[in-house]
Chains A and B, each alone.
Chain A
Amino acid sequence: MDSERDRKFSIMMAQAQNGNQIIYEALLKEVAVVMSGYLRKRIYDHAFVEDVLQEILISLHKAKHTYKPESPFMPWLFAIAEFRLIDFLRKYTKIRNREVTGLEVEHSYDPAVDAKKEDLSEKMDAALSALTPKQKKVVELLKVQHFSVKEVASQLNMSESAVKVNAHRGYQSLRLKLGVEDDEN
């Protein structure tokens, strides 16, 4: 069964390499199903499965030229998947270990909660625009660029406590606008 699927994927990939867009789309859809199952067993926080899956699909697309149709497809695919998964886990651990507290992430396995988060995602832009420029900058440096409080303080020429205050107020404002406070408490 597995070798049959491997052969099928291998043929599809060879056709995709020749520019067959329909076959390529079908291949990506089948790969997405396989990868979704693989990731759900490995990523504790299911909210991230979709993101890692998309990363894997983009990587497969970028690495398409490295696949040799005469060799098995699955080991090649899983090598990419594992690479991206490790990459994600590394980033995720880094985020979890941030020294600034304020908006602790909540792990959810409930689809209803996930749907609510989707909705929150759409409101995010509006919530961010309500922050002061300083708060925005602090949140960005801490949470997107992963600088420490000390580094942010020196970059923005602020004291460490001022950075913490700005971050805290920013998070509070985001919570308020997005109504996520109740979810967390």
Chain B
Amino acid sequence: MHIEGIRACVLNLGLKTMKTEDLINKLARDAKPTRTLSPLSSRLFLWVFVALVSIGIGVAIFGMRPDLTQKLGTSNFMLENAAILIIALCAAFGALVLSVPVGERKTRIKWLPAIGVVIWFGILVSKLFTSQIFHLDCGFSCIRDIALLGFIPGALLFYMVKKGASTHPGAAGFLAVLAATSFGSLGVQFLCKNDEAIHVLLWHLTPALLLGFIGYALSRPLLRW
């Protein structure tokens, strides 16, 4: 039975199982040379490298779209990919910034990926209005591929965030998964033949954003410290 817990909750006495002075002595005795976290830039670089390699392998395994060479020459396709890359990099950067204790002002960084989202959304909406083709199809396989391709980068980034000590775990978890699913979406751009704006909007962009909430939900059990 958690006697201290009962003491605190029932009698409002607090968890004074140890005097603060004794605790300080104990913590000081426990102090050993500490290896500090690597600089943010090197952690980000490592993550981007692993993410690119894993997405590359994933795309090779799932099979690239047949018209990829042709697509790589179109500015719209490249612009979309650049926007996705911006989302992924900004989200990963934000997750790593928030992986250590930071003040409230720095948490504004969580909005950074919005730049990429707005660009991608803008491209898709403009395509939607100019294109004559407009039919809804089912893209569950795209969601599956985003999740599969983003799994390794997501797990790695979550681990990197956990190695810190986040004072904003919800935002850090959301950004970590958003970064991974954005990379997943980038991979899906190389797999999925359907370039229609409505398809990309509904089955590539929206799931990438929504899956981020899984990171938010996971932050509570996984990023506690």
Contact = CB atoms under 8 A, between A and B. Distances in A.
Given A21-B31, A79-B102, A143-B6, A65 B37 contact: yes
B70 interface: no
Interface string A17-60: 11111101100110010000000000001011011011001110
A117 interface: yes
Given A16-B31, A76-B102, A140-B6, 19 more contacts: A17-B34, A20-B31, A25-B28, A47-B13, A48-B14, A50-B20, A61-B30, A63-B165, A75-B103, A79-B103, A80-B167, A82-B104, A103-B11, A121-B11, A121-B16, A124-B6, A124-B13, A128-B1, A143-B5
Interface of A: 16-22, 24-25, 28-29, 32, 45, 47-48, 50-51, 53-54, 57-59, 61-68, 75-76, 78-80, 82-83, 95, 103, 105-107, 117-118, 120-121, 124-125, 128, 136, 139-140, 143-144, 171, 174, 178, 180
Interface string B25-38: 10111111111110
Contact of B27 (A18, A48, A61, A178): A61
Please classify how large the interface on chain B is, using the bins under 10, 10 to 19, 20 to 34, 35 or more. Answer: 35 or more
B15 A63 contact: no
17 contacts: A21-B29, A21-B31, A25-B24, A54-B15, A57-B24, A63-B225, A80-B167, A82-B104, A103-B10, A117-B11, A117-B13, A121-B7, A121-B13, A136-B1, A140-B5, A143-B5, A178-B11
A174 B10 contact: yes
A95 B15 contact: no
A16 B7 CA distance: 34
Interface in B54-102: 99-102
A71 B99 CA distance: 16
Most buried by B among A18, A21, A32, A66: A66
A61 to B, nearest CB: 5
A62 B224 CA distance: 12
B15 to A, nearest CB: 5
A62 B165 contact: yes
B104 to A, nearest CB: 8
Interface of B: 1-3, 5-16, 18, 20, 23-25, 27-37, 99-104, 164-165, 167, 225
Contacts of A48: 14
Contacts of B7: 121, 124
Contacts of B16: 50-51, 118, 121
B223 to A, nearest CB: 12
Given A47-B13, A83-B167, A124-B3, A58 B36 contact: no
Given A57-B23, A120-B13, A178-B11, A82 B167 contact: yes
Contacts of A57: 20, 23-24, 27
A143 B6 CA distance: 6
Nearest to A16: B31
A24 B36 contact: no
Contacts of B8: 51
